[in-house]
Structure 1
Amino acid sequence: MRPVLLLLLGAHLAYAGKHSLKYIFTAVSGDIDFPEFTSVGLLDDGQFDYFDSNTMKAVPKTEWIRQNEGADYWTRATQNLIGTHQTFKVSIQTVKERFNHSTGVHTWQLMYGCELDDDGSTRGYHQYGYDGSDFVSLDKSSLTWTAANPQAVITKHKWEATTYAVKEKAYLENTCIEWLKKYVDYGKDTLERKVSPQVSLLQKSSSSPVTCHATGFYPSGVKISWQKNRHDHDEDVDLGETLLNEDGTFQKTSTLGVRPEEWKNNQFSCVVEHQGKTIRKTADDIITNFESVPIGIIVGAVAAVILLLVIGVAGYLVYQRKKGFKPVSGSDDGSNSSAHT
């Protein structure tokens, strides 16, 4: 399931670059200590609003949205999401029955949104997933729905007998883009900032793999690579996903699994490149005792884990592994996400 972000061009943007507006709706069923339903809105991968079924209230997560939208905006968003919560409760039960899942923890997700490139091109997507796998997605060009498995065929035929696709296409190509541009204008000071990463080499023990950890950087584009004796080295490397920190910055890891004697007999280094700046860390920089890890790293890592849970439990983690897939819905009255499966 590939997230195509659609952002409508419109008037001149506050500044050039690619921008995205995305929302993730997640319903959870089963014995788990987590809200039954959550909604997260993201602008350029940074969270700006949040709702869950425990608090039953849509709330701002950034100063730029808090300062530019008043009580009516959040009341409308809350009412819309309360209705979506009820729809998702029904939908996840319906899909569980189709898969004959009567026990265990299961997730039902909607990811939709829009993206605008600096050349003016736009893209949009609207996709559902069950337990981290594709279920059904909108084909905007043909106004049809693509079923990813036999269980989704019923939903495909049901929705194609309605105007659901037409409404979603209109939302993605008009409303979503209008709000994207408005949000970009609201948050231009935040979106324009550049913050270099804090880089550390971490190791549980002298015989454990070494993790190169970059955190606190913005924007999200970062390259982490390894070198052996000043030559590129890509064997035994496990590159992690880019994660969002609680403060809106990002973090990413790359782990190198080589034997201790290889570290002693060779010169390994982690190279982090971000916004034209290069940071290099060598064996001399390895921290092997977690008690000595700088508090900023620990806080950043914990915040990222918490935010991932908030964004949508296991379902979101699985979707993130599907390279390129991105999400969207929102307090802009959102798309018509109330269709029953």
Structure 2
Amino acid sequence: MECQRSSRWFFSAGLLVLEVFALRKIQAVHHRHVIQFTTVGIDHSILELSAISLIDDIEVASYNKGQKQIAIKIPCISEVLGVNYLTQWHNSLVKHEQDFLRPIEFLARNDINRHRNHTAQLQAECEMDNDITVKSHIYLIWDGEECYQIDEEVGHWENMNPEFKQYQYILESSLRTSLRKHYMNLYCVDLMKKIVGYSSLRDNVAPEMAVSQHVSPEGSIILSCIATGFYPRSILMRWEKNGKLGIWGNESSSGTLPNMDTTFYLKVTLELPLEDSGAGYTCVVEHSELTSPAMYPVPRKPTMNKPWILALGIMLAVILLLSSAGVFIKWKMRKTVLHVRRDK
């Protein structure tokens, strides 16, 4: 019994800690920047080099080797960054084009068909919380497979694919280390600070909510809570039963996804066990545009469809219709016969 009490206490304390942490993250000004360089090459030649920059899943800039220019997707960002910064960024991309050729050479060196196209990608991700960088990672993806990743706080590369482990000494050389930090600072962290520090990508919008439930073919109840049209990206959604937190069933999430209008979408579902009626559940939502947590009760449990009742109803309707038609035909025939007799 004492062990059970301790387990419940730790469970409740754990939920409280998670909730407080999540709330802090929602209330903070949190942004995420992803910039991805993609190189397509053959042996010792780069065929294509492109880059795309996304802040909070909104595309803000792109670069193409053929045009050799940076395309700004949101006009006000050009003013925020300034001509000097854009020129520095452009010159850096042109200058370091050969750096993106090295992975292509590594891939072609061990390929029987040396003239086959290869693809190398460098993806830098950084997250900022109230002007403090809380996450910065770089991923190397060769021919669609993630080969290396590095957490800038840890500072060493982690090999994800044994086939390419032999190249780790190159990544850890002083030249590659300085280039890596250059890419992270100039392209990821510095760019994000400039944009989110002086410019709003779009107006903040509170989420539009929809809560529903349906019965699965197996008889279990599926609760759905959908938030859409919100900005910024950070949001917290959870299920409560009679005002309490807990693990009530199998919960799944779509993850926060971008809409076409640069707002975001999130769907959280909860599958309840067969013995749970689904009564008393509420979807609780926290977002920076909501002054307090919003609560959306689940609507009443829908009635289960019973096919045999529907079929019986249709059958009775058909019988009634045929009976009415039969009575009408008999009445019409009798009336016709009476008219004939009178005429005679």
| TM > 0.5 | yes
* 2:210 maps to amino acid: S
**Match among 218, 233, 238 for residue 252 of structure 2:** 238
1:199 aligns with 2:198: no
Give the match's secondary structure for 1:284: coil
* 2:295 maps to amino acid: R
1:248 aligns with 2:258: no
* 1:197 maps to amino acid: P
1:211-230 alignment runs, 5 A limit: 211-230=224-243
| Count of aligned residue pairs for this structure pair | 261
1:280 aligns with 2:290: no
Match of 1:159 in 2: 171
| Structure with greater Cα Rg | 2
- Offset at residue 135 of structure 1 (A): 1.6
Higher relative contact order, structure no. (Cα contacts within 8 Å, ≥ 6 residues apart)? 1
Match of 1:209 in 2: 222
- Offset at residue 223 of structure 1 (A): 1.2
CA distance in 2 between partners of 1:285 and 1:266 (Å): 7
Give the match's secondary structure for 2:130: coil
RMSD: 4.8
Give the match's secondary structure for 2:293: strand
- Offset at residue 53 of structure 1 (A): 8.2
Identical-pair percentage: 26
CA distance in 2 between partners of 1:231 and 1:67 (Å): 49
TM-score, structure 2 normalization:
0.56
CA distance in 2 between partners of 1:283 and 1:122 (Å): 36
CA distance in 1 between partners of 2:135 and 2:84 (Å): 29
CA distance in 2 between partners of 1:285 and 1:57 (Å): 57
- Offset at residue 209 of structure 1 (A): 3.4
CA offset digits 1:100-153 (Å, max 9, x no partner): 99xxxx975322144444375665432213577642234657875432332222
- Offset at residue 228 of structure 1 (A): 3.1
CA distance in 2 between partners of 1:160 and 1:132 (Å): 22
1 or 2, which has the higher helix percentage? 2
CA distance in 2 between partners of 1:257 and 1:96 (Å): 49
The 8 Å contact of residues 213 and 298 in structure 2, kept in 1 or not, is answered as no
TM-score, structure 1 normalization:
0.56
Query: Structure 1 stretches of 5 or more lacking a match?
Result: 1-15, 30-35, 288-341
The 8 Å contact of residues 238 and 284 in structure 2, kept in 1 or not, is answered as yes
Give the match's secondary structure for 1:172: helix
CA distance in 2 between partners of 1:109 and 1:202 (Å): 41
- Offset at residue 237 of structure 1 (A): 0.6
CA distance in 1 between partners of 2:235 and 2:296 (Å): 15
CA distance in 2 between partners of 1:243 and 1:142 (Å): 29
